[in-house]
Chain A
Amino acid sequence: MSQVLHTPPPIQAPPADEDLSALAARHGLTVSGARPSLPAYVRQLWDRRHFITAFATAKLTAQYSQAKLGQVWQVMTPLLNAAVYYFIFGVLLGTKQHVPDYIPFLVTGVFIWTFTQSSIMAGTRAIAGNLGLVRALHFPRAALPISFALQQLQQLMFSMAALIVILLCFGVPVSASWLLVIPALLLQSVFNTGVSMIVARMGAKTPDIAQLMPFVLRTWMYVSGVMWSIDRITKSDDLPHIVLVLLQTNPAAVYIDLMRYALIDSFHANQLPPHVWPVALGWALVAGVGGFIYFWKAEETYGRG
């Protein structure tokens, strides 16, 4: 079967130019794989909404399907995460002396932060890690980062269920303010999706972003007050004003504190950063809309070899 093939002598030159584009235009043919306009793109994306949700659910289910405990890991993983942080920051470093209800405080912080963190990490690989899918099928590529962000939101729902149990175990009373969880999560989800679309485009062009991102995210985590209360620092006056403002407008910190305020009765409104709801809404809009447009601008380049 083996055959040695030499460069074939040109039997026939490639057809010379004729006005093919005019022919195409006359029959109303369009450029294959061209970027659609923004409204058309949104419409296409909406048409694929069932795929987006099905893909997210499928990913989530497939995740632990090989493990013996199966879906139990959905709840176990965040709990173990919280236990580790409790051991380090609560027991070893003694942060808990400064914060009432430290365990609910910490666990809320860890879960909410993990939501943002894993959405962004998944975003960096959303295109780069699914090149097979991108090269095989035609769909608006934004479906991928959105689907991944949605998967993280579903994951968070498991964590939230565990969180509710923890809160009740530690005697945090159920209150009407728990309803604030819904708008807070909504805003955070939009923010996460926007950021993951931004890193998805960056990761598609430069896959190295996925290597760098864990370090960026870890730094971000430590300044976001996941394990400690930001208001303790901001209330002392020895910080330059700019640092203070940065700490208080940090989106991760804003969303974490909002959730704590909603869920934990000993976390009072005066511990929240100033103008917290407008800031939370602002970040969601800026990241959501900006990220979407930024991602769409490179739509036709995704999947280039």
Chain B
Amino acid sequence: MAEQTSEHAIEFITDGRTAAEDRASGGHTAEWTPGSAESPEDARGERVPTVVAEDVDIVYRVNGTGAGRGTATAALNRIMRRRQAEKAAGVRLVHAVKKVSFVAYKGEAIGLIGTNGSGKSTLLKAIAGLLPVERGHIYTHGQPSLLGVNAALMNDLTGERNVYLGGLAMGMSREQVRQRYQDIVDFSGINEKGDFITLPMRTYSSGMAARLRFSIAAAKDHDVLLIDEALATGDRSFQKRSEERIRELRQSAGTVFLVSHNNKSIRDTCERVLWLERGELRMDGPTEDVMQAYEAFTGDKKK
């Protein structure tokens, strides 16, 4: 594999198109390969890559599975034989993402689709640098950020304090949070029905909490923005507002990745789609092509 890579490297530098064509005709019939439609000669060209994934494998290790899970002997066994065989010791390897490669360019909005458990969110976390890869590499421009702040918030604190905490957790400065505080609260619409922002978050309805979380998360500008099904929160009017905000974020961000099961929002937002199935990159191409194949696969007749 390594030799093949270096061989390609030389070819690629002398003539990018040759490499791309070689790749396409390499035994498989590729419908569309990233970069082959436009010139991949980025060294002098216009297209600037922001995220490069090279043969990415992501593996989760889960303790305490297999025969006799959770029993004392199984656990002891696991400790004693740790180095020898993870499988025998009851550690199960979950291969969530398998050999995924792609290049994302500046200004692109890329949708990630696939059935449940196909590795979309895992891949997103790996791009954000939050999950280590088992093999391969992910190169990024700057620090991609995941649009998600839920974990930093505390239900026992007031909405107000959570806005500050969430903002700081995302790496905003105190001053930035203070400046945007009113915008965040207004955007969330929490105070439309009374002074709720000064109540603990545990008293919010799930819709209200979701709105506040999204508002906090969307308050920051990002270089490479990763969105994990954030568009489906809240009521209709809030959804509209958040879609608008996503568009704004897209303009300021270099590249946007969107994971969603909502085919419509993928079509509205993205011009390129990666289709993951069972951890493998099944298709990568313009939105309409991939979406049609995907809908045929899932039996979805919706247009």
The interface of chain A, by Cβ under 8 A from chain B, is 3, 5, 7-8, 10-34, 47-48, 50-51, 54-55, 58-59, 61-62, 65-66, 130, 132-139, 300-301, 303-305
B141 touches A29 (CB 8 A): yes
Given contacts A15-B101, A31-B138, A137-B149, contact A23 B52 (CB under 8 A): yes
Number of residue pairs spanning A and B whose beta carbons lie under 8 angstroms apart:
210
B27 / chain A contacts, CB cutoff of 8 Å: 13
Residues of chain B having any CB pair with chain A under 8 Å: 1, 4-6, 8-9, 12-13, 19-20, 22-23, 26-31, 33-34, 42-43, 48-55, 60-62, 94, 98-103, 115, 125-132, 137-141, 143-146, 148-152, 154-157, 161, 164-165, 168-171, 173-174, 200, 277-278, 280-284, 293, 297-299
| CB pair A33 B49 closer than 8 Å | no
* Contact A303-B146, Cβ < 8 Å, known A5-B115, A50-B173: no
- Complex interface: chain B residues within 8 A of A65 (CB): 156-157, 200
Q: A31, B282: Cβ atoms under 8 Å?
A: no
User: Contacts A3-B299, A14-B101, A55-B169: A133 and B280 contacting too (C-beta < 8 A)?
Assistant: no
Residues of A within 8 A of B49 (CB): 23-24, 27, 29
Which 3 interchain pairs have the tightest Cβ spacing? A33-B129, A24-B139, A19-B9
Residues of B within 8 A of A61 (CB): 156-157, 161
In the assembled complex, how far is the CB of residue A25 from the closest CB belonging to chain B, in whole angstroms? 8
A182 to B94, CA, bound (A): 51
Contact, CB under 8 Å: B130 / A135: yes
Given A21-B137, A21-B139, A138-B129: A133 and B42 interface contact (C-beta under 8 Å): no
The smallest beta-carbon distance between B281 and chain A, in angstroms, is: 5
Which A residue's beta carbon lies closest to that of B162?
A58
Q: Quick one: given A54-B164, A304-B132, are A15 and B33 in contact (CB under 8 Å)?
A: yes
Contact, CB under 8 Å: A14 / B149: no
Q: Which residues of B contact A34 (CB under 8 A)?
A: 129
Contact of B28 among A8, A13, A28 (CB under 8 A): A13
Q: Are A8 and B165 in contact (CB under 8 A)?
A: no
Residue on A nearest B177 in the bound complex, by CB: A50
Asked if B42 and A26 make an inter-chain contact with CB atoms under 8 angstroms apart, the answer reads yes
Interface pair A29/B140, CB less than 8 Å apart? yes
Contact yes or no, A12 B200, CB < 8 A: no
Cβ-neighbour of B157 out of A21, A58, A133 (below 8 A): A58
Task: List the B side residues contacting A3 at CB < 8 Å.
Answer: 298-299
Interchain CB contact (< 8 A) of A54 among B61, B165, B293: B165
Q: How far is it, in angstroms, between the C-alpha of A268 and the C-alpha of B169 when the chains are bound?
A: 47
User: Which residues of the other chain, A, contact B98 by a CB distance below 8 angstroms?
Assistant: 14
Residue pairs across A and B with Cβ atoms less than 8 A apart, 26 shown, are A8-B277, A8-B282, A11-B31, A12-B28, A12-B31, A14-B280, A16-B22, A17-B4, A18-B23, A19-B6, A20-B103, A24-B139, A27-B42, A27-B49, A29-B52, A32-B139, A32-B140, A58-B154, A58-B157, A61-B161, A132-B150, A132-B151, A137-B148, A138-B143, A304-B132, A305-B94
Check if B140 sits within 8 Å of A136, measured CB to CB: no
Interchain nearest-CB distance for A7 vs B (Å) = 7
Q: With A19-B12, A31-B139 given, name 15 new contacts (CB 8 A).
A: A13-B30, A15-B23, A17-B101, A18-B20, A21-B139, A23-B49, A23-B52, A25-B139, A27-B48, A32-B126, A65-B156, A135-B151, A137-B170, A138-B146, A300-B132
